[in-house]
Structure 1
Amino acid sequence: MQIKKAEQRNNIIEAACQEFYSNGFKGSSMRNIAQNADVSLSNIYNYFKNKDEILIQILKPLMTEITSMLGEHNDSSKLDTTVFYLDSFIEEGADYYMNLVTMYKKELKLLLCDCEGSLYESFREDFIGLQCDIGRAYLKEMKQKYPDINANISSLFVRNISSWFVEILSELVCNDYPLDKMRTFFEEYVLFSTAGWKKIMNI
């Protein structure tokens, strides 16, 4: 019985994935999800109270990855001026972003572009705000470690750089670019960003 319940729950999640990916969160209905999962509408509520609860499960792996990415941004290994001179840093950065958008393309598109009406509808703005906070903390810690660098970067610049990153992710997951072109883009993006921060911080 427990195995059957687990299978039914997974069927509901799979049906919801197809529904959300096709119609967006707002355009999806619990009735359609129940029908495609071959479960009655009344029974689906024994597994999930509402669409938001299903959405949380669908996006859980992606949200875990995003949390990890943000949490590791200011690791001690990153708080070092040598990363601005390492080719390996560019390669690793390009690899990471490439894996992110290929592994979680559908989830990112749903999260960034099709979550109107859900508990994640303000995610874009929240994510930009988190990036700004992390960026300011990074500059503060770098200034403490390297007093001669320029950490007096305007909040408007940090805000727009953070916003640009979100727009980049949206552009890549909402369109079908060839993998080789995306890889080239990410190499260019990391190189451009690294050179830009190196210059503006006087490193």
Structure 2
Amino acid sequence: MQILKDEVKQSIRQAALAEFKKHGYLKASIRQIADAAGITPGNIYRYFKSKDDLFDELIQPIHAQLAEVLRVTKQEVDSTLCTVLSDHLVILRQIDASLIQLFKESSAELTILLNLSEGSRYQSTKQDMITLVVQIMTEVFTAELAAESGQLAPQDRLTASMMATTLVESICLILRDHEDGDTIKLLVDELLYVYCTGISEKIKLLKA
């Protein structure tokens, strides 16, 4: 009997993962999940109290792993005396490597977390990542352009924020649109190369 219950719960998990990946948290339907799992909607509530509970079951582990990556990275940014662009790019590449590793382990869950969690308690995760990359970019610009004063011009601060936001959004789109880990690594590496080149050229122009 326990084996049968475990099989039903696993069927619900698989159906829910597909439903959340297709429709996102807000539009996902318990009825559709039940149909895909071959059970009645009422049967789902024998295993999960609510859609929130089911979403949490699937997404909380990958969220905890990503939150730890961001915590450790922020700690490194706060404690490391990064003085040149290359120091910060090393940290960006660490985030890149961590995301790709998490994707290889839990591709659907990470895609849902970063792109399809609106309306859930995890909806701020992508913004948390953007906030961290904004901090990194801002420190890059400060180290390169305002080393003496320690203060960036408002326009330079906006540029750093814009570049950080679009970088994270672009990575999320790559994760959304591709399922092969090697392809994702290739595209993210290319993205970082283009951004790093662009940042270097931007700084040169601003210094001129």
Question: Where on the TM-score scale, by shorter chain, does this alignment land: which range?
Answer: 0.5 to 0.7
Partner of 2:113: 111
- Does the residue aligned with 2:46 lie in a helix, a strand or coil? coil
User: What is the one-letter code of the residue matched to 2:188?
Assistant: F
Choose between structure 1 and 2: higher helix proportion. Answer: 2
Partner of 1:26: 26
Does 2:13 align with 1:13? yes
Partner of 2:162: 160
Report the CA distance shift for 1:43/1:185 in structure 2 as closer, same or farther (over 3 A): closer
TM-score normalised by structure 1 residue count: 0.66
Alpha-carbon distance in structure 2 between the residues aligned to 1:186 and 1:108: 15
TM-score normalised by structure 2 residue count: 0.65
User: What is the one-letter code of the residue matched to 2:40?
Assistant: S
Alpha-carbon distance in structure 2 between the residues aligned to 1:85 and 1:130: 15
User: What is the one-letter code of the residue matched to 1:26?
Assistant: L
The CA deviation string for residues 112-137 of structure 1, in whole angstroms up to 9 with x for no partner, is 333344444454445434554x549x
Question: How many residues are treated as equivalent by the alignment?
Answer: 196
Provide structure 1 residue ranges, at least 5 long, that are not aligned to the other structure: none
User: What is the one-letter code of the residue matched to 2:167?
Assistant: F
Does 2:43 align with 1:39? no
User: Greater CA deviation, 180-189 or 89-98?
Assistant: 89-98
- Does the residue aligned with 2:117 lie in a helix, a strand or coil? coil
Q: How does 1:52-201 map to 2 (within 5 A)?
A: 52-74=52-74, 75=76, 79-81=81-83, 84=86, 95-129=97-131, 131-132=133-134, 135=136, 139=139, 152=152, 154-176=156-178, 182-191=184-193, 196=199
User: What is the one-letter code of the residue matched to 2:17?
Assistant: C
C-alpha contact (below 8 Å) 2:70/2:129 kept by paired residues: no
Query: How far has the Cα of 1:23 moved from its partner?
Result: 3.1
The CA deviation string for residues 128-148 of structure 1, in whole angstroms up to 9 with x for no partner, is 34554x549x94xx98xxx76
Report the CA distance shift for 1:112/1:2 in structure 2 as closer, same or farther (over 3 A): same
Report the CA distance shift for 1:125/1:6 in structure 2 as closer, same or farther (over 3 A): same
Alpha-carbon distance in structure 2 between the residues aligned to 1:125 and 1:87: 20
Identify which of structures 1 and 2 has the higher relative contact order when contacts are C-alpha pairs closer than 8 Å and 6+ apart: 1
After the TM superposition, which parts of structure 1 deviate over 6 Å for at least 4 consecutive aligned residues? Answer: 85-91
User: What is the one-letter code of the residue matched to 2:176?
Assistant: C
Identity %: 25
Alpha-carbon distance in structure 2 between the residues aligned to 1:20 and 1:73: 29
Report the CA distance shift for 1:108/1:166 in structure 2 as closer, same or farther (over 3 A): farther
Provide structure 2 residue ranges, at least 5 long, that are not aligned to the other structure: none
CA RMSD of aligned residues (A): 4.3
Query: How far has the Cα of 1:70 moved from its partner?
Result: 0.8
Report the CA distance shift for 1:86/1:35 in structure 2 as closer, same or farther (over 3 A): closer
Alpha-carbon distance in structure 1 between the residues aligned to 2:68 and 2:196: 21
Report the CA distance shift for 1:22/1:181 in structure 2 as closer, same or farther (over 3 A): closer
